[in-house]
Each structure stands twice: as structure tokens, then as C-alpha cells.
């Protein structure tokens, strides 16, 4: 198995499996060896699942031999963030108080992927409790800080740190992550991979650790936009076991995409200049011109005017306090790695109900504002993060090194998009020095196919998603 295999897209791997260039067992063993050898290098792996993965690979080989084809993910190894339960396997949520925790059921997404013939090779590292309570350092995990394959002195991003590192380093062809407010988009951007945050309710969270019932979403980190589309098609769908399920399915249909020159995309020039890290500006400006060259109509606009950070804070805080109340009151919260997170979780018990309810009322206005916004525009184009990954030694709450522009642009789109429950796509678009940076596309609820179509066209004209770190 050459590096070309480890960095190949799902579509290519599936075609090679069907042509019998290698068996699923050979492919799975190769990825397992790579995970075992390189996973610790990036603090990316929480659990290696050798025996279960090889058993599944043998089953897939039997189906392929009989030409029982089950779809694009058949025979494809993958990893899942360690907040997703896999029956009989430890699921530690990245936190010492839950080390060794075992569930007697698979998460719905794990079950769906098994049905498609995908092979679960590993549980991937994460920030403890998906960052609930807030954390100050990347080391807030029982696995240690997520290390970026492009530079191990830099962070891979939270809270799906292992998922970002594993895909970027070619340890898995794709991984599942979760997002409450930025935890798919951030590691995707920092690690130079493609990440998709689905519409709230499109993908079941049954079997996933809850951080915020009204915000949590599960989605893929992949090599390409096309890969994200196929993974989402597999994991999406209604689920009576998830009270937040929208009861909708998703079919990846790039062949039915509207012509790009009929799409109106909102953007703010200040995002690519004033808000952008100086080292990232050339990459962002070049990517903006590529996007303009696709034919979409770029129209200047601004994010609806709401205090998104002040709204999302009480929502996550109050809901996580209820979820982790036993951990906090029982004292085991003190076993967490990050002092700021410990203090934050304890303080969350004191959030007044009036603050939570006020935030939820404002949130309903935010949803309405975004509905009205997307009546005018098909999508938003901005940056995934304003610059590249920070060093693992730097505190995440450090003061900005430069003043913020007066023009807000779309700078609050991560908390805003999560509060509104709308989908977003992170696309690698270049480098700031040796580190990747990325664009973000956002659209109205259940409009994943539109942003995937724009993203696919962008990746057909660029090769940033094909770049590989030196391993």
C-alpha cells in the first residue's frame, strides 16, 4: 500500500475494491497498521479496534466476492469521534472520569455505516466532554493536545481534534466529528481537510454524548466535497430515538445542481482582508477570485445583527449543566485536565433560567432573520477561521494581537450558523506559511446539496484538498 492509497478519495478506493486490486481485509489492515504507528504521533487515536475491524472486513470481502454491492462506502475504513458509542467498546468522551465507559448499543450513525459496509477501525481523540464549560489549552483531553499533521507544534483544532488529524495524516479516509459551535469546521480548517456540518436534526445523535441538546450535530471530515456528500447520504435520516431528529433524509445529487451562474452568494470583503490574519490574506484573496471565476454572483452583505456569542453561551452552558450535573455535583469534574473547564462547568449550574429562556427567545429571532436572509441569497461565503492553527503552547483565550475591524462582516457566522441550525462546508483554500487555511460556505436549512455543488466546483479548479503533509 503506497501513500497514494492512504490519501485517495472514497470514490477511488471503492472502485479499486470492486476491481479487486486489493481486498477489504488488506486495505483495513494497512490502515490499522498506519493508525497504530502514526496515531500516537498526533494524539489522534483514543481506541484502535483491530479485531472488530478485521471481522467486518472479512464480511465485506464476502459480499464483494458475491457482487453484493451496497454503495460508495462499502469496504471503506473510517474513524469515529470518541463521543459516539460502539457496542461493547470503550467510549470515554475524551475525559478521565469516563475512561473505560462501555455502552451496549451502537450510535445510529455507526449502525448506518455498518449497514453500508463501512469498516470502523478506531475511536478518535477529542477535547474532553467536547469542550463543555470552555477550555483554555489544547491539552484539555485525556489523549493530550491534538497535534496538527502539518506542524506538530500547532493545534489540530477542537473538539474533533483526532478526527481532523487522522484524515489529514491519511490514517483514515474519512472520520465522523461533531459540532456544537465550530467543532467540525475548526479542525477541518486547521488540518486542511473538507468538513461538513449538517443541518440540525438531519443526522441522528442517538448514541452520541450530549453537550447541548438543541445545538449538537454529527457530520463528516473527508478528503473532498464529494466524499462528504456520500458520507452524509449514508448517515442522514430520521430517527425516533433522537427527539431532535427532523425526520428528513438526504440524497447526494450533484447531477441535479443548479447552474452556478444562477446562484447568488453573499460575502463581505472585510472577512478576507480586515478580519483575516495577515499571513492568510494572500490565500484568501486568491480563493475569493477562484470562487468569483466559477460564475456565482457574489454580492456584498453582512450578517444579521445579533449578539451571537452572548446568546450561544447561556444555551450551551445551561444545557451542559443539566447534562453533566451528576459529574459536577459529585466532584468528579475535578478530574478533568483543564482548570478553566472545571470552573466553567461548575459555574454553569448557576446560570439563571431567565438567562437561558431569554437566549432561546432571541434565538428564535435569529432563525427568523436567517430565513429572511436566505430568501435573498443562496449561500454565504466567508472564511472558516480567520487564520491558521495556533501553537499548542498558546492559551486559547489569549487577547487578540490586533484590533478588530469596525465592519462586522460575517465574523460571527460560526455561533450564528449553529444557533440557526443551518449547514456549513469548510474547504481548504491555501496556506499561511506551512499551515492550511479554509473557506466556509453556509446555506439555509437542508440545502446541503447547494453548498456541496459550489464546493465541488471549487475543488475541480483547485488542488488544495489534495495537498499532503509530510508524515
By CB atoms closer than 10 A (0-12, 13-18, 19+), residue 332 is middle
Q: Catalytic residue at 183?
A: yes
> Which residues are CB-contacts of 184 (< 8 A; sequence separation ≥ 6)?
160, 177, 178, 195, 196, 197, 217, 219, 221, 426
Torsion, CA 236, CA 181, CA 415, CA 167, rounded to 10? -70
| C-beta of residue 150 within 8 angstroms of C-beta of residue 170 | no
| Contacting residues for 165 by C-beta, under 8 A, at least 6 apart | 42, 43, 44, 125, 146, 147, 148, 149, 156, 171, 187, 191
Rg of the Cα trace of the chain? 21
367 and 421 Cβ atoms separated by less than 8 Å: yes
Peptide bond into 159 cis (omega under 30): yes
> Nearest-CA neighbor of 122 among 195, 186, 183, 171?
171
Rounded Cα distance, 413 and 440, in Å? 9
Query: For this structure, is 302 an active site residue?
Result: no
Residue 160 annotated as catalytic: no
| Alpha-carbon span 448 to 465, nearest angstrom | 19
Chain-centre distance for alpha carbon 153: 21
**Measured CA distances, 9 to 12, 161, 168, 197, 450 (Å):** 5, 21, 12, 19, 21
Q: What are the phi and psi torsion angles at 261 (to 5°)?
A: -75, 0
Catalytic residue among 85, 156, 183, 245: 183
- Catalytic entry in 81, 112, 123, 217: 81
Cα distance between residue 443 and residue 435, in whole Å? 27
CA distance 186 to 163: 11
- Residue pair 43/169 in contact (Cβ under 8 Å)? The answer is no
Q: CB of 241 within 8 A of CB of 228?
A: no
Compute the half-sphere exposure of residue 207: CA atoms within 13 Å on the CB side of its CA. Answer: 26
Catalytic residue among 141, 159, 384, 390: 159
User: Residue 161: helix, strand or coil by DSSP?
Assistant: helix
- Mapped to the 3 state alphabet, what secondary structure does 334-398 carry? HHCCCHHHHHHHHHHCCCCHHHHHHHHHHHHHHHHHHHHHCCCCCEEEEECCCCCCCECCCCCCC
Active site residues: 81, 159, 183
Amino acid at each position: 500500500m503506497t501513500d497514494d492509497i492512504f490519501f485517495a478519495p472514497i470514490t477511488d478506493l471503492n472502485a479499486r475494491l470492486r476491481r479487486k486490486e486489493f481486498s477489504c481485509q488488506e486495505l483495513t489492515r494497512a490502515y490499522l497498521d498506519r493508525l497504530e504507528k502514526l496515531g500516537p504521533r498526533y494524539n489522534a487515536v483514543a481506541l484502535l479496534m483491530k479485531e472488530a475491524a478485521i471481522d467486518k472486513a472479512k464480511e465485506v470481502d464476502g459480499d464483494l466476492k458475491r457482487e453484493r454491492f451496497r454503495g460508495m462506502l462499502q469496504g471503506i475504513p473510517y474513524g469515529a469521534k470518541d463521543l459516539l458509542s460502539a457496542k461493547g467498546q470503550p467510549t470515554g468522551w475524551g475525559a478521565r472520569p469516563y475512561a473505560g465507559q462501555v455502552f451496549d448499543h451502537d450510535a445510529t450513525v455507526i449502525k448506518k455505516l455498518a449497514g453500508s459496509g463501512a469498516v470502523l477501525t478506531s475511536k478518535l481523540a477529542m477535547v474532553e466532554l467536547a469542550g463543555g464549560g470552555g477550555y483554555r489549552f489544547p491539552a484539555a483531553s485525556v489523549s493530550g493536545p491534538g497535534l496538527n499533521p502539518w506542524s506538530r507544534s500547532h493545534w489540530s483544532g477542537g473538539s474533533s481534534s483526532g478526527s481532523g488529524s487522522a484524515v489529514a495524516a491519511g490514517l483514515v479516509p474519512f472520520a465522523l466529528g461533531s459540532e456544537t459551535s465550530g467543532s467540525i469546521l475548526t479542525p477541518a480548517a486547521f488540518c486542511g481537510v473538507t468538513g461538513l456540518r449538517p443541518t440540525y436534526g438531519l443526522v441522528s445523535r442517538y448514541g452520541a454524548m450530549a453537550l447541548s441538546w438543541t445545538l449538537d450535530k454529527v457530520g463528516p471530515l473527508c478528503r473532498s466535497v464529494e466524499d462528504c456528500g456520500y458520507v452524509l447520504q449514508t448517515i442522514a435520516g430520521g430517527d425516533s430515538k433522537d427527539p431532535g431528529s427532523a425526520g428528513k433524509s438526504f440524497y447526494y445529487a450533484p447531477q441535479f445542481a443548479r447552474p452556478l451562474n444562477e446562484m447568488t452568494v453573499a460575502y463581505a470583503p472585510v472577512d478576507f482582508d480586515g478580519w483575516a490574519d495577515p499571513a492568510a490574506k494572500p490565500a484568501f484573496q486568491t480563493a475569493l477570485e477562484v470562487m468569483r471565476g466559477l460564475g456565482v454572483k457574489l454580492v456584498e452583505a453582512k450578517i444579521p445583527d445579533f449578539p451571537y456569542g452572548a446568546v450561544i453561551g447561556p444555551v450551551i452552558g445551561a444545557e451542559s449543566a443539566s447534562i453533566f450535573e451528576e459529574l459536577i455535583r459529585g466532584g468528579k469534574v475535578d478530574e478533568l485536565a483543564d482548570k478553566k473547564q472545571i470552573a466553567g462547568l461548575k459555574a454553569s449550574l448557576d446560570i439563571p433560567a431567565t438567562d437561558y429562556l431569554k437566549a432561546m427567545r432571541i434565538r428564535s429571532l435569529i432563525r427568523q432573520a436567517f430565513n429572511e436572509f436566505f430568501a435573498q441569497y443562496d449561500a454565504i461565503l466567508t472564511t472558516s477561521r480567520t487564520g491558521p492553527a495556533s501553537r499548542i503552547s498558546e492559551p486559547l483565550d489569549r487577547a487578540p494581537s490586533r484590533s478588530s475591524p469596525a465592519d462586522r462582516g460575517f465574523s460571527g457566522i460560526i455561533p450564528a450558523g449553529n444557533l440557526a441550525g443551518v449547514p456549513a462546508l469548510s474547504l481548504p483554500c491555501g496556506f499561511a506559511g506551512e499551515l492550511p487555511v479554509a473557506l466556509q460556505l453556509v446555506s439555509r436549512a437542508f440545502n446541503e446539496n447547494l453548498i456541496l455543488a459550489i464546493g465541488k466546483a471549487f475543488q475541480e479548479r483547485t488542488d488544495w484538498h489534495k495537498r499532503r503533509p509530510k508524515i
